[in-house]
Structure 1
């Protein structure tokens, strides 16, 4: 991920990662066992990338003056989401008897996130 964001505008890289993950969710929903390996790969591809992107984008958009504090807040929010996600997905499974609603919700959120991150402005000039 680091090599890629050194060469391509990082929000665009993040948008592609989000969209690949959304496609993985859609493949798990639509294709069944035939597309499950590809869907799982696309979802797994993003694992770890988000933390690199959080660190890099925090530094580029907010600078280093309060980096530790801001990164801590952003990473805490990410961690809360990561902790709550399995419980929410499990609750949806219990309610509906499958993962379809959860997978479509994840794909929708990831698509919205891709659009949001792709709309970020260019980085400020370094001082």
Structure 2
């Protein structure tokens, strides 16, 4: 006598795109936004040596000089966000890990910028 499993249908489910279906719609929207930012970041990295005035800003860091340390850092952050969106959208094994690294890095940069901004303004008044 052969037992019939009620869970057989789950054994043959196509596992492709399973994680993508679990993503909420707002994350899918931001994935595409950061795809665009990542592509723009790559273009900015290529064209930065030829330009002197590009407005860049993220996490409270802003600059108009793409050749400065802040400008290169901002461009690299855009590229990192593009890599995160690529990893999440195409379900790469490293996608979730690099997304967590990006989140922690974002929190650290925002916190540092917040404290640096408040201390630099206090120093200017004295």
Could you say which TM-score interval applies, normalised by the shorter chain? 0.3 to 0.5
Structure with the bigger percentage of strand: 2
More relative contact order in 1 or in 2 (CA 8 Å, sep 6+)?
Answer: 1
> As a proportion of its length, which structure holds more helix?
1
Greater Rg, structure 1 or structure 2?
Answer: 2
TM-score by length of 1: 0.37
